Amino acid sequence: MTHTEPIERVDAPYPRVVARERRPRWPGIARAAGELLVTAGLVVLLFVVYELLVTDVIADRQQDRLSQELYEQWDRAGVEPAELTRVEIGDAFGVLRIPRLGEDYARVILEGTSERVLAQGPGHYAGTAMPGEQGNVSLAGHRVGKGSPFLELDLMEAGDPIVVETVDSWFVYRVLGDVATGDLEADPSGIPGRRIVRPTDVEVISPTPDAPETAPATGAYLTLTTCHPEYSARQRLVVHAQLDGPPLSKAQWPDGPAALYER
């Protein structure tokens, strides 16, 4: 009988485990951070484009609408002499014209200085004088974006006219300073025609600029304020002007005063 050898079991060798080399995580983290930065940069860029371009387009359309509505309202009222009383916040009541900033420069003025108001155009500081009154007609406006009504306010020179149109009258103000020399800080009143101040220097819109808010007015002034420098709200650019003569009736001057055509 043939002897059958038992089957010898041969154990298979254990699989060889090869340790993987651990790659550093920094490249992946850096790549993710870079992608986030690029995305954030695009978001910021789009925001800047919106603030500088889109809001200008929106504000221009709003100004067109406000202008049409205001002139239609004035047409219904006629041009008979009428006292300009206080108006409600957000209401339009006048048109600001500054020949130095362009022969077609005209911005509807609204009551109030909230962001909602200033997004539409120059706003009148509530409680300050109305056009033609003794005191200080004070207006604020954006330097950049939202229509940029006061973008080039730094170009104003001594003696430049600033004209405010109301329902029945034209009021001509002139930037303070020495017209002969062009020195904006040499006005006999002691009030500079143009300057840079801190946002907290609220005396610039007092009834007499720089005097206490409770002090009586010493004349009929107009003050324009905007942010400074451009793209920053760190300071304020301020222009002061004074009323130049009595109001001019729109019935007698339908096309506006001669000051509108000064270049």
What one-character-per-residue DSSP string does 141-159 give? --SSSTT-TTTTGGG--TT
- Which residue among the candidates 97, 142, 194, 228 is catalytic per the annotation? 142
What type of residue sits at position 99?
A: P
Q: How far is CA 197 from the centre of its chain?
A: 16
- Which residue among the candidates 97, 124, 236, 240 is catalytic per the annotation? 236
Q: What is the dihedral of CA 211, 110, 243, 186, to 10 degrees?
A: 50
- Which residue among the candidates 143, 227, 228, 240 is catalytic per the annotation? 227
Q: Is 236 a catalytic residue?
A: yes
| Calpha distance 164→161 (Å, rounded) | 10
Q: Are 124 and 134 in contact (CB under 8 A)?
A: no
Q: Is 234 a catalytic residue?
A: no
User: Which helix (H) or strand (E) segment is 61 a member of?
Assistant: helix 55-77
Residue 149, phi-psi category: left (phi > 0), alpha (psi -120 to 50), beta (remainder) = alpha
Q: Pull the structure tokens for residue 196.
A: 């840079």
| Calpha distance 88→91 (Å, rounded) | 6
Q: Is 142 a catalytic residue?
A: yes
Residues with a known catalytic role: 142, 227, 236
